[in-house]
Amino acid sequence: MNQVGENQESLRTDFLVVGTGLAGMSFALRMADFGHVTLLSKKRADESNTKLAQGGISAVGLTSDSFDQHVEDTLIAGAGLCRKQVVEAIVHQAPNCIDDLRKWGVVFDSELTTEGGHTQRRVYHVQDHTGLAVQEALHRRVLEHPNIEVLENTFAIDLITSRKVHPHSVEPLRCFGIYALNLASGRVLTIQAKVTALATGGAGKAYLYTSNWSGATGDGIAMACRAGARVTNLEFMQFHPTCLFHPSARNFLISEALRGEGAKLVDQKGVTFMKRYHPKGSLAPRDIVARSIDNEMKLTGAECVFLDITHKSKDFLQTHFPVIYERCAGLGISMDKEPIPVVPAAHYLCGGVLTDLHGRTEIEGLFVFGESGCTGLHGANRLASNSLLECLAIPQNGAQWIRTHADQYLLHDVEIPGWIYYGNQDKDEMIVIRHMWDEIRQLMWNYVGIVRSNRRLFRAQKRLENINSEISEYYWNFALHPDILELRNIATVAELTVRCALLRKESRGIHFNIDFPETDEGTLPMDTVL
């Protein structure tokens, strides 16, 4: 690395990837034989939402199944907002993606399972910890590859675009890399790259209750938006119906695969209720299940509902769901003898940075993969286990596009402005940062949650505008700190989410507004784009 002033460093790389989940690592592995890859993680490289994924990856694998059925299930779950061409392309890629994971060392269970919204058993899994198995396998491959450099504890601050380098240029917007904060040294690192790929995951931490890891703060979405990329469909935050309800395990997910194996949702009296809401009962699409649980809780005043799988033996549960069984047992819940208390929680963002099937954005040289991007696969509600599939398929497409169009992605010799430092650290003010963080999460849960209204959305918008103004003041007047950077990003995504929600004058999929309770069937379904 070359010194650029007392507190700055710089480096050049071919391919810069921000995020070390499945999307980021799979892209890095695909590009490593074509140039040097620099892979950034704001914490440890083995931490991501991928690691927490329990269910699996959907792909046609049985003779009783078909691509057409998988496509149809995805379109139905997406409530009319999926891009059919994208769905068809990714569904047809799925078996090849499974083969790639096997080549990278993932060993799937022999039997496929099913989850909500699927009409066939097509979910490839590793017991109940598929994401962990995938993360570990790819992490090993990444560390072994001589062309991949992993920078941990390195927080991406902002994208470096031609607007930054040449403020008055009329040329198309291009990305040259990023500014990043080295958390160990406190120095800002300027990274210049041929291609910059954001794979930073979703924004579940914008909500009070979430199944996401602590780093899911919408970093990639916020950075891309600030740089000039368009975002779309952020109103579609999917709430997973069954997050463990326990004071010591607020973000522990109870996999949908349990319902695939016959688990039923019941109330406090042990009475099933989902058939009142949908013919598929507990295996209805996630948006319906989450709203149904929310309604049951409001009707009864209960703090939670329960997931009953006591018809299965202890041996079956320990074999098929060892992680869930042990976690519940550690909290005093014997899931073979008693129902598991569950509540809905923010889980997966179906919107994101607007991209094409290759992950390309409107900014040249900038790609977005995984949950940070929006390809149109998920529409208004993601089909279970299509998320990890997208994390494989879009980076695969992006890598192929870059290799085919290599002449478009050259390392430009540009003079990138140095980072300008502002302010000093003020420990007393960090308390205010934490208070604002808590306020945003509570506000989003209460006003932009499973069920919304115009009044709640307008109140949220007004408060978030004020919060963002306050955060801007902190950002420009105090020393860089990861808590301020995350707060800045989550507040940006929260405000964008409210704006998208106010644009949608109907209820569709995950988004339910009591002032517009019906789906607008009279017009062609439209994305909300900012």
Q: Which residues are catalytic?
A: 286
The Cα 209–Cα 213 span in angstroms is: 11
Residue type, 145: H
The Cα 333–Cα 316 span in angstroms is: 16
How many residues belong to the chain? Answer: 530
**From the CA atom positions of the chain, what is the Rg in Å?**
22
Residue 100's CB: how many other CB atoms inside 10 A? 17
Token look-up 């059919």 returns: 84
The Cα 223–Cα 220 span in angstroms is: 5
The Cα 163–Cα 175 span in angstroms is: 9
Query: Phi, psi (5° rounding) for residue 481?
Result: -150, 140
The Cα 469–Cα 491 span in angstroms is: 10
The Cα 153–Cα 183 span in angstroms is: 6
The Cα 35–Cα 37 span in angstroms is: 6
For residue 498, CA distances in Å to 62, 312, 459, 460 come to: 42, 42, 10, 7
The Cα 74–Cα 259 span in angstroms is: 18
Residue 472's CB: how many other CB atoms inside 10 A? 12
> Would strands 148-151 and 352-354 be described as parallel, antiparallel, or unpaired?
unpaired
Residue type, 78: G
> Would strands 188-198 and 8-18 be described as parallel, antiparallel, or unpaired?
parallel
The Cα 164–Cα 363 span in angstroms is: 13
